[in-house]
Structure 1
Amino acid sequence: MKKISFWIKGLLLIIVLYFIFLRPIPYYIERPGSAEDLDPMIEVDGNYAQEPGKFMMTTVEILQATPFTYLFQFLPYNDIVSEAELFGDIDDYEEYNTLQRYYMESSVHSAVVAAFDAAGLPYNLDYKGVYVMSVTDNSNFAGVLQMGDTITEVDNLKFKNTEEFIDYIKDLEVGQTVSIKYERNGTEYKSEGDLIKLEETGETGIGISLVDQSTVETDPEVVIHSGEIGGPSAGLMYSLQVYSMITNTNLRAGHVIAGTGTISEDGTVGPIGGIDKKVIAADKEGATIFFAPDDEIDPDLKGEYPDYKSNYEIAVEAAEDIDTKMKIVPIKTFNDAIEYLEQLSPVSSRFEPEQSQVNLAA
């Protein structure tokens, strides 16, 4: 009996430990991630940058909570978010990752375009089709199409842009059968279905939300190996690395430069989430300069949320909190970053760029 009692107690202990330390709960921990050197991630005509210094992208780590790790929220720069807050209307983590991969691909595309535009070099945009972001429940292609598919043809017709695609569909009749070709993970599929009346606009449609899917062709050829990293926030740093390589300019001058921010094709730098955690990650990896989006806050938004702060303000507060010597530099456009880097002296000198001031929104 004592032996049986011992095994029962041991089993109960294992069960308790499982529920405390391993059992997932519907919450996620957001905390400082990594600062990744871009030299081994970006190649131009098969070559990698070898100049002194680094450009680094920064990340936020997201991990599913357990009852034990739920307590991490009380640690500095560890935040707890619910599944609803993280996923929104997305059904599961797989779809979330698919969306993040799309954002990364789009970020790579925009970064290359912004860099080549700034360098005055030509490039070609190759339209691939429409990227499926979601499928409505009442769509006759529900269960066929899924997030991440690219529709390449409708009724054996190819289109030059998404506007042509939409115009063709909306000129057809509700209930009319269309044939589509679409790609998923490199494989082409075909399907047929009837068009529906879109609830939002009342127009004829397939029943999907969509965005452009295109690639950019350049000479010299640029390849960005983003790996498993997702999201759009590496855009600014990607564009700086690409620009410095295609123009053969040593912009970093031996400095370790980290940063974050989305990049538009026109060079506009946009805000991102978790910038305070990215400041922590950059500081741990020895960055001496950190580029932060200096997003302008809409007065109406500031009026409704008086405590709302720009990315730059949050980054400055985090830097002051950890007492880092890393300089936080506000960036609105790609050209802002280039101009700042062009005035840097080599790291071997004693010159230190003047700390930029907070540009508070009215």
Structure 2
Amino acid sequence: MKNNKLVKRLVAIFLALVVIACVIVPIPYYIEEPGDTINLKELITVNGKEDEHKGSFSLTSVGIRRATVFTALKSKVEPFHEIISADDLTGGASDAEYMQIQKFNMETSQNFAIEQALKLADKPYEMTYKGVYVLGVEKNSNFADKISVGDTVTKADGKTFTSSEDFMKYVKSQKVGQEMKVTYVHDGKTKEATEKLIKLPTDKKPGIGITLTDHTEIDSQDKVKVDAGNIGGPSAGLMFTLEIYEQLTGKDLRHGEKIAGTGTISPDGEVGRIGGIDKKVASAAASDNKIFFAPNDEITKEMEKAQPGIKSNYEEAKAAAKKLDTDMKIVPVKTVQDALDYLAKMK
């Protein structure tokens, strides 16, 4: 009898530990869910002043948290919740690299938004090139243990450049195996590294083995401050542009309405596709927004081939709104001017 009681007790303890593990022990998956909808009046000031017009422009976000067995199973039945693998989320980058990339994407979206708002408001500005921002480092790069994701490369062999394109042209004009001295900024400190160039697998040309993009900064007499905190990614570009433009011009674009939306912004004002738009629609609807701007992106044949059944962000947003049974109006936009034209008709 004593042995039976002991066995039962051990089984009970084991099952309890299994349940606890399912609830609190993370697994290599993440859950995407509706995140916060944030009033941009709280984040943006222009020339030290806040937006005092009624209504709001708000960015929408996707919440991401590490999954456990319990939360993964729960998300299967919760609307607008999705399980994704760590690789799908980060693209194979480490957590630290992923956060650096998201931070840079946010900074870039702010720069593009400020540039577009200044253009639309007919305000003077200059775009300053700071160097090449490192988005990734190849494992076989001879600079892999020196240059990191998030660093900014400022010189090659002591030469400076005016764009990442010029930088790449110079590097590709050299020879595979040739040594190159690279100057870069890491955690605010300028450093140098000299290593041999490798043959790039894409075009067989010489390279240092990094994924790169322009690192730029806006210089204007109008001082725009964006305090985005820990928010990352490029998807707030459109809404940043609208909020900054309203503050620069003093125009009442919203006419008292609560307006949310999403979409990247490009240097020429195009609104680009983003991920997780259904979750952003759910977040915006829960915050009682009346209008939601959604990218009306073009679906190419290549995209359809890679992802059969793929829909535009606008179509996805409309489907999410229908599922929610919300009165929030989904408005398609291809450019920031489309959004401004729609707002002008609200008078």
Task: Please give the TM-score of this superposition, normalised by the length of structure 1.
Answer: 0.89
CA deviation after TM superposition for structure 1 residue 14, in Å: 6.1
Distance across 2 between alignment mates of 1:200 and 1:298: 23
Cα 1:14/1:92, change in 2 over 3 Å: farther
Helix, strand or coil: the match of 2:251?
coil
Match of 1:331 among 333, 338, 345: 333
Cα 1:306/1:247, change in 2 over 3 Å: same
CA deviation after TM superposition for structure 1 residue 336, in Å: 0.5
CA deviation after TM superposition for structure 1 residue 307, in Å: 2.5
CA deviation after TM superposition for structure 1 residue 308, in Å: 1.9
Q: Which residue of the partner structure matches residue 81 of structure 1? A: 84
Distance across 2 between alignment mates of 1:293 and 1:123: 27
Q: Which moved more, 1:12-21 or 1:66-75?
A: 12-21
Match of 2:213 among 203, 206, 211: 211
Q: Which residue of the partner structure matches residue 223 of structure 1? A: 225
Match of 1:70 among 60, 69, 72: 72
Q: Which moved more, 1:138-147 or 1:195-204?
A: 195-204
CA deviation after TM superposition for structure 1 residue 199, in Å: 2.5
Unaligned runs of 5+ in 2: none
Match of 1:202 among 191, 201, 204: 204
Equivalent positions of 1:1-362 (< 5 A) are: 12=14, 15-71=17-73, 72-88=75-91, 90-299=92-301, 301-302=303-304, 307-345=309-347
Q: C-alpha root-mean-square deviation of aligned residues, in Å? A: 2.2
CA deviation after TM superposition for structure 1 residue 5, in Å: 9.7
Unaligned runs of 5+ in 1: 346-362
Q: Which moved more, 1:150-159 or 1:170-179?
A: 170-179
Q: Which moved more, 1:162-171 or 1:278-287?
A: 162-171
Distance across 1 between alignment mates of 2:244 and 2:343: 14
CA deviation after TM superposition for structure 1 residue 191, in Å: 1.7
Helix, strand or coil: the match of 1:58?
strand
Helix, strand or coil: the match of 1:27?
strand
CA deviation after TM superposition for structure 1 residue 181, in Å: 1.7
CA deviation after TM superposition for structure 1 residue 101, in Å: 1.1
Cα 1:255/1:176, change in 2 over 3 Å: same
Distance across 2 between alignment mates of 1:197 and 1:340: 50
Same amino acid, percent of matched pairs: 43
Cα-to-partner distance string for 1:78-102 (whole Å, 9 max, x where unaligned) = 11112232222x2322222211111
CA deviation after TM superposition for structure 1 residue 208, in Å: 1.2
Amino acid at match of 1:123: Y
CA deviation after TM superposition for structure 1 residue 310, in Å: 1.0
Distance across 2 between alignment mates of 1:122 and 1:157: 29
Is 1:29–1:73's contact at 8 Å kept on the other side of the alignment? no
